[in-house]
Amino acid sequence: MAMLLESMMRHAIRRGSLDVITHDGKRFRTGDGTGPDLAIRFTDAAAQRALLRNPDLALGELYMLGRLVVEDGSVADVLDLMLGNLHGRPYPAASRARARVRKLVRQWRQMNRGARSRRNVAHHYDLDRRLYDLFLDADRQYSCAYFEHPGQSLDDAQMAKKRHITAKLAVEPGHRVLDIGCGWGGLGLYLAEQAGADVTGITLSEEQLAIARGRAQERHLDRHVDFRLEDYRNTRGNFDRIVSVGMFEHVGVGFYETYFQQSARLLAPDGVMLMHTIGRIDGPGSNNPWVEKYIFPGGYIPAMSEITASIERSGLIVTDVEVLRLHYAETLKAWRERFMARREEAAALYDEAFVRMWEFYLAGSEASFRCGDIVVFQVQLAKRIETLPITRGYIAEREQDLRRREAVPLRLAGE
């Protein structure tokens, strides 16, 4: 069994190096001996067996439970090494039959009808609000920031993200904007304050809703921002702009057409939509089972071909696709560093296993973005070919305008 483990680990690590200490104290080195010293240790034989049986699920579980211990380096370093080695291997061309079966399984797992969607959302977003305070920026932006230059702070990069999205939406004062998956309300408040929009933000998380509403009241924006507990499938009305950031990952492949058709119904004829989602680069695939079980039940990271196929059937037109590479790796790095600096507080809120789970989630996600398996797609959509300017120059111009506006005092309520 130890031989099997050694063979598996040697297969997994070719470049860089990782020492493995088995439960009975034996030690072997994998990889080519380059890179920093990293070592992991198994506390028991059953842990080694579990990793062999189902590595994708067990790696995270064993780390959470403290049965796989990182002795030298951090779990982030280990995951970066492992995913870096995995990446760049030839993509296995799945047979059509296998691909079909995989698609069915995926659709079943992601049957995110109303009640299940709410349960899935509660699993993650109804966690104690103090947890999110430990690692997010001051505005609680729980999605990929936009780093305009190296070394930009997380808070500035999250502000830049809101500005970039607002610019791409070409929002005008008085526009009715729908924010599908509004989170704690930061983007909605920005759209109202800086662009003069009338915002409807919808979420399925009661925790998020309570905080978002509280913030709108505090900032005297409740006449311009309406946060609601609502499933996007139940929304009615007509909106000049629709924005949806980090929500599409929860829609489920079986509902992509529903999502875009519903968006097309809600969008005014001259409307513009911006959909911001994590995306996979190597085509339709399946979820990581550990992430599915512990972090995002019902979630799925879409390929561009899956997104565009659904859009083409909706009556919407893709007018621009920006592919944000590495921005999320930087965001997750910042989150992890902030979280680890306050890990005692997290442990006091939950327990050590939770802290390791969260660390593993942040580190694993960062490694996936770093090695280029996943990226972020910002897909801009319209209904009419002539809705937006024909070159992209307006985006930078509007960002410049917004930057100036951010510098002056905010309007009072009712203004």
| Length of the chain (residues) | 415
Among 140, 327, 336, 398, binds a copy of itself (CB under 8 A): 327
The answer to whether the Cα torsion of 282, 287, 289, 294 is positive or negative is: positive
For a copy of itself, give the closer residue by CB, 70 or 375. Answer: 375
Provide, rounded to whole angstroms, the least separation between the CB of residue 299 and a copy of itself: 20
- Asked if 294 interacts with a copy of itself (CB under 8 A), we say no
Interface region with a copy of itself, contact rule CB under 8 A, candidates 89-97, 103-111, 122-130, 221-229: 89-97
| Residue 298 · residue 120 · CB < 8 Å | yes
| Residue 343 · residue 362 · CB < 8 Å | no
Provide, rounded to whole angstroms, the least separation between the CB of residue 80 and a copy of itself: 13
For a copy of itself, give the closer residue by CB, 45 or 304. Answer: 304
- Asked if 390 interacts with a copy of itself (CB under 8 A), we say yes
Provide the mask over 302-321, with x wherever binding to a copy of itself is found by CB under 8 A and - wherever it is not.
Answer: -xxx--xx--xx-x-xxxxx
Among 123, 129, 325, 342, binds a copy of itself (CB under 8 A): 325
For a copy of itself, give the closer residue by CB, 225 or 303. Answer: 303
| Tokens at 232, concatenated | 């996007």
Among 1, 4, 104, 396, binds a copy of itself (CB under 8 A): 396
| Tokens at 121, concatenated | 């959302």
Provide, rounded to whole angstroms, the least separation between the CB of residue 238 and a copy of itself: 17
Whole-angstrom distance, CA of residue 115 vs CA of residue 125: 15
- Asked if 397 interacts with a copy of itself (CB under 8 A), we say no
| Residue 306 · residue 253 · CB < 8 Å | yes
Interface region with a copy of itself, contact rule CB under 8 A, candidates 11-19, 21-29, 133-141, 365-373: 365-373
C-alpha closest to that of 255 among 204, 307, 214:
307
Q: Pairing state of beta strands 374-382 and 267-280?
A: antiparallel
For a copy of itself, give the closer residue by CB, 22 or 380. Answer: 380
Whole-angstrom distance, CA of residue 260 vs CA of residue 243: 12
Q: How many CB atoms lie within 10 A of CB 414?
A: 7
C-alpha closest to that of 253 among 299, 314, 294, 219:
299
Q: b/e for 145-177, b at 16 or more Cβ within 10 A?
A: bbbeeeebebebbbbbbbbbbbbbbbbeeebbb
Q: What is the 3-state secondary structure (H, E, C) of 123-149?
A: HHHCCCHHHHHHHCCCCCCCCCCCCCC
Interface region with a copy of itself, contact rule CB under 8 A, candidates 120-128, 133-141, 218-226, 323-331: 323-331
- Asked if 147 interacts with a copy of itself (CB under 8 A), we say yes
Provide, rounded to whole angstroms, the least separation between the CB of residue 381 and a copy of itself: 10
From residue 60, alpha-carbon distances to 35, 36, 65, 360, 400 in Å are 23, 22, 9, 7, 43
Whole-angstrom distance, CA of residue 323 vs CA of residue 311: 17
For a copy of itself, give the closer residue by CB, 5 or 388. Answer: 388
Whole-angstrom distance, CA of residue 46 vs CA of residue 310: 45
Among 57, 165, 266, 371, binds a copy of itself (CB under 8 A): 371
- Asked if 86 interacts with a copy of itself (CB under 8 A), we say no
For a copy of itself, give the closer residue by CB, 71 or 312. Answer: 312
For a copy of itself, give the closer residue by CB, 3 or 93. Answer: 93
- Number of chain positions touching a copy of itself (CB under 8 A): 42
Binding to a copy of itself, residues 258-287 (CB under 8 A): 281-284
Enumerate binding residues for a copy of itself (CB under 8 A). 90-91, 93, 146-148, 281-284, 303-305, 308-309, 312-313, 315, 317-327, 370-372, 375, 384-386, 388, 390-393, 396
